[in-house]
Amino acid sequence: MFAVHLMAFYFSKLKEDQIKKVDRFLYHMRLSDDTLLDIMRRFQAEMEKGLAKDTNPTAAVKMLPTFVRAIPDGSEKGEFLSLDLGGSKFRVLKVQVAEEGKRHVQMESQFYPTPSEVIRGNGTELFEYVADCLADFMKTKDLMHKKLPLGLTFSFPCRQTKLEEGVLISWTKKFKARGVQDTDVVSHLTRAIRRHKDMDVDILALVNDTVGTMMTCAYDDPHCEVGVIVGTGTNACYMEDMSNIDLVEGDEGRMCINTEWGAFGDDGALEDVRTEFDRELDLGSLNPGKQLFEKMISGLYLGELVRLILLKMAKAGLLFGGEKSSALHTKGKIETRHVAAMEKYKEGLANTREILVDLGLEPSEADCIAVQHVCTIVSFRSANLCAAALAAILTRLQENKKVERLRTTVGVDGTLYKIHPQYPKRLHKVVRKLVPSCDVRFLLSESGSTKGAAMVTAVASRVQAQRKQIDKVLALFRLTREQLVDVQAKMRAELEYGLKKKSHALATVRMLPTYVCGLPDGTEKGKFLALDLGGTNFRVLLVKIRSGRRSVRMYNKIFAIPLGIMQGTGEELFDHIVQCIADFLDYMGLKGAPLPLGFTFSFPCRQMSIDKGALIGWTKGFKATDCEGEDVVDMLREAIKRRNEFDLDIVALVNDTVGTMMTCGYEDPNCEIGLIAGTGSNLCYMEDMRNIEMVEADEGKMCINTEWGGFGDNGCIEDIRTRYDTEVDEGSLNPGKQRYEKMTSGMYLGEIVRQILIDLTKQGLLFRGQISERLRTRGIFETKFLSQIESDRLALLQVRRILQELGLDSTCEDSIVVKEVCGAVSRRAAQLCGAGLAAVVEKRREDQGLEHLKITVGVDGTLYKLHPHFSRILQETVKELAPRCDVTFMLSEDGSGKGAALITAVAKRIQQARKEN
Ligand code: BG6
Ligand code: BG6
Ligand code: GLC
Ligand code: GLC
């Protein structure tokens, strides 16, 4: 009995002495609570630094956006392939998520070796090896005939700009394959997979193992928003508020951030914590100077730290009687599994002895106790450091959520955590001590990170399927070169048709003679009034033309035309116009001077002379009654008479295209075409008299107002019209009419966009499937909004703001889609317009028998002027379809009022001459 007590006393004394000895020796490795709190605060600062745009480039902790935006919600389903590369084991898996509506995951997997010559050899060969293993797996599981999406768990730091891409920042842990750093890992693997002709695999997601772990655990516990790995390496990820992630556009919701905390301290931030052993270990590693935090924590390094300490202690005569074995001198001889075994509760000491003997040492009882304690200090420090960083993340989550108590779950994986007998307990305890205001549940990921990776892939594959649906819609708006050539040819045919006497009456492209027979020559002069009706703005102008110097002065005022008047009676409309003229004359102090007036009237009129024209039919947003078929000049005269306040001399009726051509022609005598791409779409050009069969006379030229907006009204372009065009047409004021205009002009493009958005929303692809009242409102997408949305200078957030202003509550994803829709619609418009213009210039070239034609087009209209891409695409198309025409585009800065005044001046001169004769 006494002997037993004596033994016990002797043993505890021995133990105490050994422990004291080791404690003294490793004093630096024992971290106080204050130090841990300090490290925690430092890590908080590191996270801030990594998240902010300006500090990220120099931050050691990279805080990488993962493009995983939500934890699983249970709706995930499908069959997926999964690869798990970068942990201690390489696995290939097949994952079946949610069978028959149940939240259930089935996995079949196969481990493959990762020989060091493969993981530290040539990068291409590494990925070929991975693809070979995948092929082998698929063959064994009889999956070769299937097309399966694949999620790749890749446990290294990657910079991602989307889910299915990841540029390797640097290898860590045991990997060091050449030619992979700074390149996209997914592309490497895709290339390697393509070598197998019988495999059809689509890599949809690249996830870090921390992310996979978080997602795996979140599938079972929706509170899980942190993933931690304490394995070969160490790292953590967590769900961060988008508004704090500078590197990714958008403010809404959250995104998982892969902290890559292993690199904490790489900038020297932990030098006071690191010991000589840490430095020595680092020098002998594959990546000296890198992953300094990881090297104090993770499984790949713990055993080695213990070995270096034992060696030093032996050298100092503190262990093994000063004896060292060659094994103790050999790098890597002590592994994490040894450390874990030595720290086992009951068998620990016996294990220690066995391990030391295996290392060729002859340990005493005291040595075993000391060595065991070395292990404890090293592994405890690991858990402490891990806890400090994790506590920082939890604090951050708590601050983001602004809650007093945070209830959350941390998903954990990794061999060190799993096989070390005390590790989990210690980690949990320290975390709870450091952040007492958090109720943390630690959930061990039983099925590795692949289950989570499959969740991410499932979401990605749903997104991909939706993308396909969106692309299908957008594809309707993509025109091939052949289609454009065809449009050009058809337009050409319609132009000829409209010019011919026998077909003119039935022509949809009306080819209206304008009685404008020449461009200004600079001799025009005088003071004129002009009206400009039919574009976005109604204007009254005073134009003073001075001869000789080609200088024009203009004064104008914009007046609103209320919808009720645009669509009321003709009398009301013209009375309103006259009212505006009266206001303008008052304003300018001009009442009583019967000035000559040019009337820009941007609608199709059948003219009998320069000052006579019957409105054929309203277009765009006008629909006043009792005007169609009437001479609009007469209507204006009568309205002036009705008012009986002043008199005006209406000299010319001018289409806006003609006014534009004249405005530009005043500067450039080569300007023989006028083009409007605005509310409406139209073109005029100088045609040889001999080709205009409706007008007697064969000499000289006359301007023809094509009214090409009506192109297609006979059904000739039905092949390229979409169901959305039909929808827009049916909802318009003039169904069945102006089909080309409805595909190319500002008033309708927004409507087409709106119809597409409604359809996509109905399909559940936009706005969370909710069609808002605003979206049902006709005309919300004015040209200026389209132009803003498509501007390249605008960030996504700004696009979202515009949509919000329009009453459309969109997510960032929605905004991307809306922008794409706008792009597809406006691009088609510009191309179609270009094909039409190409038809006209080619006709002019051929008519004149020229090898090359040099011609200027005067252009106006808000679409052309405001839209960021319309003019460029239009010009490119013309170049492509009419390569032998050298077309200069001249923007009309002064509107068509100036041109109308010039025409009036010429007409007045001729009138005068006639009178004098
Ligand atoms: C596994 C995961 O369970 O744990 C891997 O599936 C991960 O993705 C690994 O990399 C981490 O632990 P270790 O110890 O294998 O590096
Ligand atoms: C203006 C012209 O500059 O452009 C008008 O003065 C023309 O005559 C208009 O109708 C066309 O563009 P929008 O976009 O206003 O229809
Ligand atoms: C290393 C890798 C990191 C990974 C961790 C755990 O730190 O850089 O990406 O998550 O190991 O495997
Ligand atoms: C409409 C009109 C046309 C006008 C064009 C541009 O197409 O019918 O006359 O030129 O719009 O404003």
What pLDDT band is residue 9 in, cutting at 50, 70 and 90?
confident
Closest residue by Cα to residue 306 from 585, 29, 1, 4 = 29
Residues 124 and 176 in one domain: yes
Assign 804 a pLDDT band (cuts: 50, 70, 90).
confident
Across 86-110, average pLDDT: 87
In this structure, is residue 27 part of a structural domain?
A: yes
Q: Whose CA is nearest to atom 4 of ligand 4?
A: 602
CATH number, position 118: 3.30.420.40
- Predicted confidence at residue 880, as pLDDT, reads 98
Rounded (10°) CA dihedral 385, 387, 388, 394: 150
Residues 805 and 746 in one domain: yes
Average pLDDT rounded to a whole number, residues 774-778 = 90
The least confident of 251-255, 485-489, 554-558, 569-573 is 251-255
Range of the domain at 824: 716-889
Instruction: Report the distance separating Cα 839 and Cα 494, nearest Å.
Output: 10
**677 lies in some domain:** no
User: Per mean pLDDT, which range of 115-119, 176-180, 775-779 is the poorest?
Assistant: 775-779
For residue 475, CA distances in Å to 221, 480, 698 come to 41, 10, 47
Identify the pLDDT of residue 172: 96
Our answer on whether the CB atom of 899 is closer than 6 Å to any ligand 1 atom is no
Question: Sign of the C-alpha dihedral, residues 280, 284, 288, 290?
Answer: negative
- Looking at the domain assignment, is residue 228 inside a domain? no
Under the banding of pLDDT at 50, 70 and 90, the label for residue 318 is very high
Contact between 583 and 641 (Cβ < 8 Å): no
- Judged against a pLDDT cut of 80, whether residue 795 lies above it is answered with no
59 with 88: CB under 8 angstroms?
Answer: no
**Tens digit of each residue's pLDDT (9 = 90 or more) over 852-877:** 999 999 999 999 999 999 999 999 99
- Of the listed ranges 99-103, 494-498, 556-560, 693-697, the one predicted with least confidence: 99-103
Shared-domain flag, residues 763 and 879: yes
**Cβ-Cβ contacts under 8 Å for 377 (sequence gap 6 or more):** 22, 23, 26, 29, 30
Instruction: Say how far apart CA 491 and CA 488 lie, in whole Å.
Output: 5
CA distances from 373 to 7, 308, 323, 386, 426 (A): 20, 14, 19, 20, 15
Residues 298 and 430 in one domain: yes
Verify that 729 and 853 share a domain, yes or no.
Answer: yes
- What is the model's pLDDT at position 827? 98
Please name the residue whose Cα sits nearest to atom 2 of ligand 4: 603
- Comparing 45-49, 476-480, 779-783, the range with the smallest average pLDDT is 779-783
**In total, how many domains does the chain have?**
3
Please give the residue that has the higher pLDDT: either 103 or 317.
317
| Summary mean pLDDT of the chain | 94
Q: Are 829 and 733 in contact (CB under 8 A)?
A: no
CB of 408 within 8 A of CB of 438? Answer: yes
| Rounded-to-integer distance, Cα 526 and Cα 537, Å | 25
Instruction: State how far the alpha carbon of 209 is from the alpha carbons of 93, 214, 414, 450, 762, in Å.
Output: 15, 8, 10, 8, 37
* Band (719; pLDDT cuts 50, 70, 90): very high
CATH of the domain at 745: 3.40.367.20
Query: Could you report the per-residue pLDDT of 155-170, keeping only the tens digit for each?
Result: 999 999 999 999 999 9
pLDDT, tens digit, 9 for 90 and up, residues 561-607:
999 999 999 999 999 999 999 999 999 998 777 899 999 999 999 99
Q: Given ligand 2 and candidates 619, 656, 783, 890, which is best to mutate, with the most ligand atoms within 8 Å of its CB?
A: 656
Percent of the chain, pLDDT > 90? 82
Q: Tell me which residue of 821, 826, 517, 855 sits closest to 670, measured CA to CA.
A: 855
pTM: 0.76
Spatial strand order of the sheet with 551-559 comes to 551-559, 538-546, 526-533, 596-601, 649-654
Query: Does residue 764 belong to any structural domain of this protein?
Result: yes
pLDDT at 519 over 90: no
Q: How far is the CA of 425 from the centre of ligand 3 (A)?
A: 22
Pocket test of ligand 1: the residue of 386, 415, 417 to mutate, having most ligand atoms within 8 Å of its CB, is 415
Ligand 3 pocket test, pick from 91, 155, 238 with the greatest ligand atom count within 8 Å of Cβ, gives: 155
Q: For position 466, what pLDDT does the model report? A: 86
**Cα 143 to Cα 93: distance, rounded to the nearest angstrom:** 11
pLDDT at site 185: 98
Q: Which of 89-98, 153-162, 274-283, 307-316 has the lowest mean pLDDT?
A: 89-98
| Per-residue pLDDT at 903 | 94
Pair (275, 417) in one structural domain: yes
State whether 159 and 291 are in the same domain.
Answer: no
CB 793 within 8 A of CB 835: no
Residue of 509, 620, 748 best suited for mutating to test ligand 4, as the one with most atoms within 8 Å of CB = 620
Q: In the prediction, which pLDDT does 811 show?
A: 79
Atom of ligand 4 nearest to the CA of 656: 10
Q: How far is CA 427 from the centre of its chain?
A: 41
Could you tell me if the CB of 233 is within 6 A of ligand 3? yes
| 349 and 463 in a common domain | no
471-482 mean pLDDT: 97
Tell the residue nearest (CA) to atom 12 of ligand 1: 414
pLDDT tens column, 826-846: 999 999 999 999 999 999 999
Ligand nearest to the CA of 415: 1
Q: What are the E-state strand segments in 637-793?
A: 649-654, 671-677, 681-688, 701-705
Is residue 523 predicted with pLDDT exceeding 90? Answer: no
Q: Radius of gyration (Cα) for the chain, nearest Å?
A: 40
Provide the β-strand partners of residue 857.
673, 889
Structure tokens belonging to residue 61: 């902790």
Q: Which residue's C-alpha comes closest to atom 8 of ligand 4?
A: 603
Q: Whose CA is nearest to atom 12 of ligand 3?
A: 233
Query: Tell me, what's the pLDDT at 768?
Result: 84
* Atom 3 of ligand 4: nearest residue by CA position: 603
Q: Tell whether 704 is covered by a domain.
A: no
pLDDT tens per residue, range 209-241: 999 999 999 988 989 999 999 999 999 999 999
Asked if residue 140 and residue 48 are part of one domain, the reply reads no
pLDDT on residue 868: 95
- Point out the residues that are catalytic: 539, 602, 656
Q: What is the structure's pLDDT at 341?
A: 97
Q: Which atom from ligand 3 is nearest to the alpha carbon of 87? A: 12
Q: Is 231 in the pocket of ligand 3 (CB under 6 A)?
A: yes
The answer, yes or no, to whether any atom of ligand 4 lies below 6 A from the CB of 746, is no
Name the token pair of 783. Answer: 């040209």
Predicted confidence at residue 549, as pLDDT, reads 67
Q: What are the beta bridge partners of residue 235?
A: 229
Give the number of the ligand closest to the Cα of residue 682: 4
- CA-nearest of 244, 293, 257 to 273 is 293
Residue 767 Cβ < 6 Å to ligand 3: no
User: Do 599 and 633 meet the contact criterion of CB atoms below 8 Å apart?
Assistant: yes
In 746-808 the beta strands, taken as DSSP E runs, fall at none
Structural domain contains residue 293? yes
Whether 167 maps to a domain, the answer reads yes
| Residue 435 or residue 590, greater confidence | 435
- Mean local confidence (pLDDT), 708-731: 97
Flag whether pLDDT at 73 surpasses 80.
no
Considering the domain architecture, whether residues 456 and 404 belong to the same structural domain is answered as no
pLDDT in tens, 371-401: 999 999 999 999 999 999 999 999 999 999 9
Residue 522 lies in a domain: no
On whether both 93 and 166 belong to a single domain, the answer is yes
Q: Ligand 4 center to residue 620 CA distance, Å?
A: 8
86 ligand 1 Cβ < 6 A: yes
Would you state the pLDDT for residue 99?
66
Q: Pick the closest to residue 654 from 505, 790, 529 (CA basis).
A: 529
Shared-domain flag, residues 72 and 10? no
Is residue 890 within 8 Å of residue 856, measured between CB atoms? yes
